[in-house]
Amino acid sequence: MTYALEARNLHASYRKGGEEVLKGVDFILESGQSLGILGPNGCGKTTLLRCISGLIPFKGELKLMGDDPSGLSRREIARRASRLLQTGEAYFPYTVEETVLQGRYSKSSGIFGGITQNDREVLERVLDDLDLNAIRHKQLNVLSGGQQQKVFLGRCLAQESPVLLLDEPMNHLDIKAQSELTDHLQEWRSRQGHSLVGVYHDIRMAARLSDRIMLMKDGRTLYYGDPAGALDPGRLEETFGFDAAAFCGL
């Protein structure tokens, strides 16, 4: 069995000897499956994504496509996983085309590797798939939040990595932009071998995009399984501390 991600008794803090943010996270995600992560603010959702991305140290067991990310180079991690942040991330005013091409870093032969014909072909395919051709020469700072997020998704897709990490990607997007981004993510995850791991605030969105749901609280896994089980009113109330099911109309 090939696993996209494995975590067993995962613990993490942001500084040596500091308070633990992750205090026992456990899950296994098969290649081609999608995972939605839900929980209150401060429960460790983003910290988990940072561990997977190799950005902070951890204790316990964590594997990204069979290997511990702490032993992989930044380039090798980028070959395996790309990360889509929420809108509002810091960025330089590159053009749409330049931003999408940044996703080809992990494929280049070195820091000063030039743009190859294959890079150009990937760029054109991504711009076509996301309907970005009309704005390809515009700078990011003149785009709407929805357009920016679509460009950042394009940068992720240009990496051609099998795992896509989403960190609250729908925040600050209007309904139309959310719908468009969801459609693109649905199409991407339908391709063989693609695994989507998303941190969400929207419970319905998580259930729509995910084969598995993990409920987290206080740095621990409360539930890991199918979406129907995660939507149990009692489980949601234990996770969020109030009647979340009624609030969301479930």
| C-alpha–C-alpha distance, residues 43 and 10, integer Å | 13
| C-alpha–C-alpha distance, residues 239 and 203, integer Å | 12
Report pLDDT for 195: 95
Q: In the structure, what pLDDT confidence band is assigned to residue 20 with cuts at 50, 70 and 90?
A: very high
- Closest of 70, 75, 130 to residue 97, by C-alpha: 130
Residue linked to tokens 């561990």: 51
133-187 pLDDT, tens digit each: 999 999 998 998 889 989 999 999 999 999 999 998 887 788 888 888 899 889 9
CB atoms within 10 A of CB 47: 23
187-215 pLDDT, tens digit each: 998 888 899 999 999 899 899 999 999 99
| List of domains in the chain | 3-247 (3.40.50.300)
Dihedral, CA of residue 147, residue 111, residue 63 and residue 99, to nearest 10: 0
Residues with Cβ < 8 Å from 208, sequence gap 6 or more? Answer: 182
